[in-house]
Structure 1
Amino acid sequence: MDCDTGIDDALALLYLCSQPHVDLMAVTSTPGNVDADQVAANNLALLQLCGRGDVPVAIGARAPLEIPLVTTPETHGPQGIGYAHLPRARRTPEAGDAVDLWIEQARARPGELTALITAPLTNFALALRAEPRLPELLAGVVIMGGAYYYQGNTTPTAEWNTHVDPHAAAEVFAAFAGRPEDRLPVVCALETTERIEMHPEHLAALAEAAGCAEPELVLPEQAEGTRSGASNQLVRTVSDMLRFYFEFHRHYDQGYVAHVHDYFAASVAAGTARYSTRSAAVHVETAAPRLLGTTVADYRGLWGEPASAQIVSDNRPAEAFDELVRSLGALARRVG
């Protein structure tokens, strides 16, 4: 998993840790929602919370390929995890570079690994530069990013991850163009990830599934910044993260909800989500200032270019939240 943790990245990482069939080989840290060092600190602390101190965490790039880094504390909080406070991890990041780790793992286990990227595509682009055979070495690639004929969440036309590093995104899609359909990255874009809309009742259900002593009530009428008193630490962490995210969405007139984009991408990578895709050639705008990071999909072949992605066209939100509550609730019971 490559992430820029981030509230929804954190939820995605916790979900992967809750899946017994998922062998999490490494977590690499890309700057985006916060800087790379804070991303790595978040990843180490979350893995420690889940009892997964065996999973390597590495830092790769510290800035986008060609443009300055822009972070988003207003969306995810100064540390990237909302109101949550996690104990400092006992470990530190790996000494080696994340890109080298990607390549070593892929070469050591050809055809076995799925890459999940819920961050700007900086590290993946650098890995593809260093090892152009990655599309053949990896079993699959799942990307959260882009918006196709759909309103952006950063500019009127651009999604956050792609807007942070559009040049990296353009390189990644170019590297996959013309490959067999089953080798193309599966792209979870805003038109389907914004359907994965979390509500306070989902947190209440999670606390119940975790066996918490009291109901977990995160309500719009409560004071902003109210902290969870849940008897389970994992539930407290998730609740404190999500309250910040609910408040952010309300500030932008979207209601007291949270679009947990990266959890959906994680469920696709883990094979637990049902979804449909459409193949398309993807263009990422890297020149026009107002359209920077805009993604366009040619589903009809009008450009005469080969497909470079499988874009998710349909998903099942109710199933997604049933799965999240069940799986995270079981993890919370295990780790306390």
Structure 2
Amino acid sequence: MVERMIIDCDPGHDDALAIILAAGSPNIDLIAITTVAGNQTAEKVTRNALAVCAVAGILTVPVAQGASVPLVRAQRVAPDIHGESGLDGPVLPEAQIELDPRHAVTLIIDEIMSNEPGTITLVPTGPLTNIAMAMKLEPRIVDRVKRVILMGGSYTRGNTTPAAEFNIIADPEAAHAVFAGDWPVTMVGLDLTHQATADADVVARIAAIDSPLSAFVVEILAFFGSTYREVQGFDAPPVHDLCCVAKLVDPAVFETEDAFVGVELTGTWTTGMTVIDFTNLLGEKANTQVATTLDKDLLWNMTIDAISALSKGTHA
């Protein structure tokens, strides 16, 4: 079964890999790419999305720029991990397609409302500003979306504060709205994505494809790996966002556990924390499938297959 999806992203090295997997897998129909300020400003991450499309040969998928600031809070960016461009490392090619004139939120609403209910999955891999805005502007999308598979949160510890993961703390009010929505949500948090490291053997397999796209991916992973070693002490970089798309390619890629997920909005030390209740201590109905255990080999096999397919021009 082919899954139809919109990826809402803030490229970002791991977002770039997520786009490539979505475009290169025969199991995915990528119907739109939307961008949101997160890893860098909206202008920079949109430029990066267009560059990824250019190098991967993604020429027929609309790309629209979205929210440039969070709903309420001051903007956060992550140059310590992603560099000043948001996609430091490779030389970024010039865009080959024009940006869609619509705001990302409008594009998301248009696609969901013009397609059959239950046919489109939203895959947000950055702050959730665009998704929350779309819910507010057109509440009917909540009933029409098949599911939301988001990268964000954690049930152990954060990566931006001790309690909070970057995508959630970047716009916690938006995250609260998405988790509270009456739609199926899968949370792909740090506990899962820290298992998704691009180890040396993975990088060697990608390099062996020997194409401009595979060389681009190797350069992405080299920069990403260097910042993760320096800033967070990882031996190899965890490619977070890739895992969200992978769940649509093959549901066996990771296991989940049902839980209630709330987002802390007012804590002195815990703002942006995802509070995960696996055992119904809060008496709230489970609202999220929380990712727990990754099949790492399956993840990288499908990703390498996608890079190879795009390199041959056989899928985009």
TM-score band w.r.t. shorter chain: over 0.9
What SS class does the counterpart of residue 24 from structure 1 fall into?
Answer: strand
Q: Measure, in 2, the Cα distance between the counterparts of 1:253 and 1:298.
A: 27
Match of 1:151 in 2: 157
Structure 1 or 2, whichever has the larger Rg, is: 1
Which segments of 5 or more consecutive residues in structure 2 lack a partner in the other structure?
Answer: 1-6
What SS class does the counterpart of residue 143 from structure 1 fall into?
Answer: strand
What SS class does the counterpart of residue 171 from structure 1 fall into?
Answer: helix
Which of 220, 233, 253 is 1:274 aligned to?
253
Deviations 1:244-268 (A, max 9, x none): 1111121135233010010111101
Contact 1:15 1:266 in 2 (8 A): yes
Q: Measure, in 2, the Cα distance between the counterparts of 1:320 and 1:295.
A: 25
Match of 1:10 in 2: 16
Cα distance, 1:87–1:132 mapped onto 2, change above 3 Å? same
Q: Measure, in 1, the Cα distance between the counterparts of 2:46 and 2:26.
A: 23
Q: Once superposed, what is the RMSD of the aligned Cα atoms?
A: 1.5
Cα distance, 1:241–1:274 mapped onto 2, change above 3 Å? closer
Higher fraction of strand? 2
Deviations 1:277-319 (A, max 9, x none): 1121111111124211111111222222222211112221122
Q: Measure, in 1, the Cα distance between the counterparts of 2:188 and 2:252.
A: 12
Pairing 1:112-191 to 2, within 5 Å after superposition:
112-148=119-155, 150-176=156-182, 183-191=183-191
Letter in 1 for 2:87: I
Q: Measure, in 2, the Cα distance between the counterparts of 1:297 and 1:28.
A: 28
Deviations 1:49-88 (A, max 9, x none): 2222111111121100111111111101111112111212
Which of 289, 292, 295 is 1:310 aligned to?
289
TM-score (norm 2): 0.93
Contact 2:206 2:218 in 1 (8 A): no
Q: Measure, in 2, the Cα distance between the counterparts of 1:53 and 1:103.
A: 22
Match of 1:111 in 2: 118
Q: Measure, in 2, the Cα distance between the counterparts of 1:242 and 1:29.
A: 21
Percent identity between matched residues is 34
What SS class does the counterpart of residue 52 from structure 1 fall into?
Answer: coil
Match of 1:199 in 2: 199
Q: Measure, in 2, the Cα distance between the counterparts of 1:127 and 1:55.
A: 20
What SS class does the counterpart of residue 26 from structure 1 fall into?
Answer: strand
Q: Measure, in 2, the Cα distance between the counterparts of 1:273 and 1:44.
A: 30
Match of 2:92 in 1: 86
Letter in 2 for 1:95: P
Q: Once superposed, which parts of structure 1, at least 4 consecutive aligned residues long, lie more than 4 Å away?
A: none
Deviations 1:161-201 (A, max 9, x none): 0011111101111123xxxxxx4211111111100111122
Contact 1:207 1:329 in 2 (8 A): no
Contact 1:199 1:257 in 2 (8 A): yes
Count of aligned positions: 307
Q: Measure, in 2, the Cα distance between the counterparts of 1:2 and 1:39.
A: 11
Cα distance, 1:97–1:246 mapped onto 2, change above 3 Å? same
1:102 pairs with 2:108: yes
